[in-house]
Structure 1
Amino acid sequence: MKKIIAISGLVLLFSGVYGQKKFSGNPLFPGWYADPEGVIFDKTYWIYPTYSAPYERQVFMDAFSSKDLVQWTKHEKILDTAAVKWARRALWAPAIIKKDNRYFLFFGANDIQNDRETGGIGVAVAAQPQGPFKDYLGHPLVDRFHNGAQPIDQFVFKDKDGAYYLIYGGWRHCNIARLKDDFTGFIPFPDGGVFREITPEKYVEGPVMFIRKGKYYFMWSEGGWTGPDYSVAYAVADSPLGPFKRAGKILQQDPKIATGAGHHSVIQVPGRDEWYIIYHRRPLAEKDGNSRETCIERLYFNSDGTIRPVVLTNSGVPARPLR
């Protein structure tokens, strides 16, 4: 059954139950948001994005939750610079993980350009996924350039042996470092080094890692974030340390849909080989670099484990409650 309603001269078409959407639509929620971190906590989908605005206005972070990928609830200002005394602007690219019934939110701040500036990658903690989050360390976790990597765009990866890794880096360099179990610092590798570079060909920023069928999938963003060439590529290895050989590009602009598609995350439906990619893109009519929206598509794999190119849509994905 279909119902049609008119609001302010517009005609809206609903399928099924009155007012109930069957597809998420893209963008997922209103507002300019980028660099989305998608995760599942307790049968609820969560997205933690960057508030997309000029750097001086990026002083807080919002979060969004959903039971079905369709209806989203906004949680305002889960973290802001008032809770992180050393951070003053450019709160970027949150990454979150649950450990010991606490939620650890890793974030970039201040967009530092050299080792003399204050900022880098910080950690905040909360008792619930919607916060409020408070500074965990009182100082940045990473506040220097190692191997040429700007300390931004952090991703926290839990390996199958229980080890936690921080994977991060801008300026075309990517590092991996093993975190201490309490996330207060790092455990050196057997060779004594702490920050190991794993930069693949054409890497720019936005690293993501996950395991599928025993293989380590490493993904990243390429191109310039303000331009139409922003995109996502990937590699596959047998270890989180690589080596990672670029396999190809799987997410990029569609001149009929949107430009600047990139800086993503990946979620898996628990217990199923069902995957989604959450990313940002720029509407065709927008020229401002900060005009970015958070979107979602299905992520499909071929029988040989390679990833199929993602098809950009305006419809998004069907409702997917977690049971």
Structure 2
Amino acid sequence: MRFYNPIIPDTIADPSVVEFDGVFYLYGTTDIGTGLGASGVPVVWKSTDFCNWSFEGTIFPDVDWTVAKYWAPGRVLRRMENGRYKYYLYFSASEVASPDPNAPKPDPEQTFVATADSPEGPFVTANGPNIFSGPNKAVPVLDDIDGDPFVDDDGTAYIGWRRRHVAKLNPDWLSIDPSTRHQITTKHGGAYSEGSWIFKRNGIYYYLYTLSSNANYKYAYVMSRESPLGPFEWPEEDLIATTDHEKGIWGPGHGCLFLPQNSDKAIFVYLEYGEGGTTRQVHADWLEFNPDGTIKPVKLSWEGVGPLREVKEAVDIARQGTASASSCRPGRTVTGESDGIKLAREVTYAAQNAVDGWNRTRWWAAEDDPNPWWQMDLKANYEIDRCELAFNFPTFGHAYILEKSVDGENWLKVKVQEERKLCSPHVVEKVGTARFLRVRILEGTPGLWSFKAFI
């Protein structure tokens, strides 16, 4: 049985999925393992089958993301303006705090909106420059984080955000009508919540939100039969996702509900704890409804939803080979806590992880390795059409050399990527005859989520 969760070979949180013209787009927070004070370069992953995902470059090329941070993008909207589509991206942003304790503190995190002519960007902040702190920053849509918009059947737009707030957006989609702003009460009282998501099905409006944090994340909801602004009903069983202790899936948190086009099924896309802290990963599982419109608790799984369309893929022979590497980081125990229960899982960074077909595992070279490389022995010579390399922390970019050999002693260079390139996977065409394949990493984090070789 194949495990499709996590769905993407990278550390990503707060996923938001949309479908435009037969292509799935996933926007999210790029986790880089350094805590919530910083995030990676914002990108959009895309797929035509919901299984094979890729990105190329950043969606905000005109921002210095070493001083700014971006996270928790909401649902991307589009509408026809002046004869062409315009895309609206709502996201949380601020500036990275200076390590100098005497430096001015950045402004509080807020929700901004940016527009583009394509779902892949480039996006430009709509209410001012691409600056998110200080006197010259763009005007935020909200004075808080986790803004997620929703457009009703009549074209009226709304937005939800942290602590179960909701309001109507003005017709320009760039600001809210403050007279409609209010906070939704729930049976959980004043418990902290975030990660709102509004959707409509069969005339019922649903407002999803997360409770708690880390490995103890849980997903809850309220529903209204009148409006995205309420009044809201509290379902008797309002928790739809929580840690599955038996399966070892922890803290299903900030995500979205996705309704594929031409389908009556719903998909719950969410973050999972990963290796702790900001090393979270994205999962997707089916979500079902009861006849009265209430939501059934989601059955979390490692199998996931699998392909939503036919997967046209050549034969990947890398999974039958044996991998080796210049070094590997030592394994470790990841811990957490959910429902008062202590959690623990073992993580390894072995070379073979890159060809096990699972996006949860990766090869990662030792920190003190001066010349990291990874190698594959396919056991026989093959005529290889292409290789796909999904590197560790791909938004930092990678420079590398891919080599091939028929005997493991004499090597030929197939591809030399001299400068860092931000993409995943890196695709190398027309590899040719080889039994052995070797990747030498020149720049970028030395590791591989996956390596594929197609014949």
Inter-partner Cα distance in structure 2 for 1:41 and 1:269: 10
Inter-partner Cα distance in structure 2 for 1:93 and 1:160: 25
* Map 1:300-319 → 2, pairs under 5 A: 300-319=288-307
State the 1:235 CA deviation: 1.5
State the 1:279 CA deviation: 0.5
8 Å contact 1:45–1:67 — kept in the other structure?
Answer: yes
Residue matched to 1:126: 116
State the 1:179 CA deviation: 1.5
- Residue 80 to residue 231, structure 1, CA distance change in 2 (3 Å): farther
TM-score (norm 2): 0.57
Matched AA of 1:70:
C
Pairing partner for 2:126 from 136, 139, 151: 136
Residue matched to 2:48: 67
**Do structure 1's residue 155 and structure 2's residue 148 form an aligned pair?**
yes
Residue matched to 1:17: none
Residue matched to 1:148: none
Matched AA of 1:279:
Y
Inter-partner Cα distance in structure 2 for 1:31 and 1:236: 33
| 1:310 match: secondary structure | coil
Residue matched to 1:195: 181
Residue matched to 1:91: 70
Inter-partner Cα distance in structure 1 for 2:218 and 2:241: 5
8 Å contact 1:180–1:187 — kept in the other structure?
Answer: yes
- Residue 108 to residue 199, structure 1, CA distance change in 2 (3 Å): farther
8 Å contact 1:118–1:143 — kept in the other structure?
Answer: no
8 Å contact 2:167–2:229 — kept in the other structure?
Answer: no
**Do structure 1's residue 102 and structure 2's residue 81 form an aligned pair?**
no
Larger CA Rg, structure 1 vs 2: 2
Matched AA of 1:165:
Y
- Residue 185 to residue 272, structure 1, CA distance change in 2 (3 Å): same
Q: What are the superposed Cα offsets for residues 53-107 of structure 1, whole Å, 9 maximum, x if unpaired?
A: 33443152111111111111223321267179xx943411112111220111111
Residue matched to 1:165: 158
Residue matched to 1:249: 239
Residue matched to 1:185: 175
8 Å contact 1:55–1:89 — kept in the other structure?
Answer: no
State the 1:318 CA deviation: 2.8
- Structure 1 stretch displaced more, 95-104 or 57-66: 57-66
Residue matched to 1:208: 197
- Residue 243 to residue 93, structure 1, CA distance change in 2 (3 Å): same
Matched AA of 2:44:
A
**Do structure 1's residue 40 and structure 2's residue 19 form an aligned pair?**
yes
State the 1:158 CA deviation: 0.3
State the 1:271 CA deviation: 3.8
Matched AA of 1:126:
A
8 Å contact 1:97–1:104 — kept in the other structure?
Answer: yes
Choose between structure 1 and 2 for higher RCO, CA contacts under 8 A separated by at least 6 residues.
1
Inter-partner Cα distance in structure 2 for 1:168 and 1:229: 20
| 1:82 match: secondary structure | coil
8 Å contact 1:119–1:140 — kept in the other structure?
Answer: no
- Residue 217 to residue 194, structure 1, CA distance change in 2 (3 Å): closer
- Residue 74 to residue 313, structure 1, CA distance change in 2 (3 Å): same
Equivalent pairs: percent with the same residue? Answer: 30
Inter-partner Cα distance in structure 1 for 2:107 and 2:193: 22
Residue matched to 2:223: 236
- Residue 296 to residue 143, structure 1, CA distance change in 2 (3 Å): closer
- Structure 1 stretch displaced more, 122-131 or 240-249: 240-249
Inter-partner Cα distance in structure 2 for 1:156 and 1:73: 25
| 1:142 match: secondary structure | coil
Matched AA of 1:213:
N
- Structure 1 stretch displaced more, 232-241 or 197-206: 197-206
Inter-partner Cα distance in structure 1 for 2:63 and 2:164: 29
**Do structure 1's residue 268 and structure 2's residue 267 form an aligned pair?**
no
Residue matched to 2:360: none
Tell me the number of residue pairs that the alignment of Structure 1 and Structure 2 aligns: 280
Unaligned runs of 5+ in 1: 1-12, 14-22, 145-150
| 2:272 match: secondary structure | strand
Inter-partner Cα distance in structure 2 for 1:309 and 1:230: 14
TM-score (norm 1): 0.79
State the 1:124 CA deviation: 1.0
User: What is the aligned-residue RMSD (CA, Å)?
Assistant: 2.6
Residue matched to 2:285: 297
Residue matched to 2:28: 49
